[in-house]
Amino acid sequence: MPGVIWSVEMYNVSKIALVVRRELLTITLSTEATSENVTIVQFYSYTHDKSYALQKRHTISFRGSPAVNACFMRAFGSFNSSSVHQDQTDAIGMTGLLYLMETFDAIDESVVECWAGYCKYSDGHCEAFDRRRALRMFRAQQRAREDCLVGSISFEPSASLLPLHQLLESQQADISVTQFWLLNRLWELCMSHGLLRDNSEHTELRLDFAYHVARKLLAACDVLSLPSMEVHGVGLVEKIFDIAMGLIKAMSSSTQLSLEFSLSDYDPLIDKANVVGPTVRVLLQRLHELVQNFRGGDHDYVSQFTMTLSAIPGYSGTAESRHSVA
């Protein structure tokens, strides 16, 4: 149902989906349903509710984290121990939900009002979001990303899960794009609260962090087929668009970022030092190309993106050839 809602851009209908999930959860908990079914419904309700709330500035209905609930932990343990007897498709689906749940769990619910634009920072006294909380949430997001890549999850370290690359390609697309989008949203929240600097000691609190997020997003999308992303509908391309807009905002706010700006990365996992990345211009070209190709450009984000790019002094969509972002 959510995929259909996103694909036809019926955002308001997603409120109906939330009601359906609440009713489904109530029915499941009040009948003789197995603990495994309860867990699946709880996962699905929680992840969809938070996804919709954060993307559409809606209130969160399912407060708290299922991961710290004793009943949930027992149900999860039961599911995990019996998963070897289940259809592999069920196990793969459950694993994807687990990774999404940990991803959304990294977002502190106390900052949702700031996220939705009802923040008191403009009055000079926001008590919900500060530098310390921002860094804690960034670290939690990083752990969620690292966990899914190796097949683990923070709230159940003993669980043996399939790593991200062994899930369905459509799951990989949803999880990866969502994780990088949440990093971008956190970064933008830091921007609105005056926490970003050109030369912060923390990478996440620098203006050029938007460059890193855009580059990693494109690297993840490079190994995915377009259909695996398109199946999620316009909600996914909206996340890609948001990340692109974050990069443009960073460039307009920084004294160091420009269209020809690039960064060198060091990756200790592959022992590559001073690998020069693509320029901001190339990243924007690649993001624009991805948005244009998504469902043949049959959505509003193509025109919005094109208009924004045309307003950037010196930008030309054909100035440089395609550049690898790996």
Distance separating alpha carbons of residues 35 and 70, to the nearest angstrom: 12
- 269 Cβ neighbours under 8 A, 6+ residues apart: none
> pLDDT band at 14, cuts 50/70/90?
very low
> pLDDT band at 321, cuts 50/70/90?
very low
What whole-number percentage of the chain has pLDDT above 70? 65
Neighbours of 16 (CB within 10 A): 12
- pLDDT exceeds cutoff 90 at 22: no
pLDDT of amino acid 229: 97
- pLDDT exceeds cutoff 60 at 49: yes
Positive or negative torsion for Cα 162, 166, 168, 171 = positive
Q: Which two tokens stand for residue 146?
A: 């690292």
Distance separating alpha carbons of residues 68 and 94, to the nearest angstrom: 18
pLDDT of amino acid 90: 72
* Mean pLDDT calculated for residue range 97-102: 87
> pLDDT band at 172, cuts 50/70/90?
very high
pLDDT of amino acid 264: 75
CB 219 within 8 A of CB 325: yes
> pLDDT band at 133, cuts 50/70/90?
very high
Over the range 247-286, which residues count as b (16 or more CB within 10 Å of their CB) and which as e?
Answer: bbbbbeebeebebebbeeeeeeeeeeeeeebbbbbbbbbb
Distance separating alpha carbons of residues 305 and 292, to the nearest angstrom: 9
The reply to whether the predicted model has a pTM over 0.85 is: no
> pLDDT band at 287, cuts 50/70/90?
very high
Question: Where is pLDDT greater, at 233 or 74?
Answer: 233
pLDDT of amino acid 79: 58
Question: Where is pLDDT greater, at 293 or 272?
Answer: 293
pLDDT of amino acid 218: 97
**Largest distance between two CA atoms of the chain:** 65
Question: Where is pLDDT greater, at 137 or 23?
Answer: 137
What whole-number percentage of the chain has pLDDT above 90? 48
- 181 Cβ neighbours under 8 A, 6+ residues apart: 217, 239, 240, 242, 243
| Mean pLDDT score of the chain | 78
Instruction: Name which of 33-47, 134-148, 212-226, 276-290 the model is least confident about.
Output: 33-47
Triad 274, 277, 279: Cα angle to 5°: 140
pLDDT of amino acid 16: 44
Left, alpha or beta for 203 (phi > 0: left; psi -120 to 50: alpha)? alpha
- pLDDT exceeds cutoff 60 at 76: no
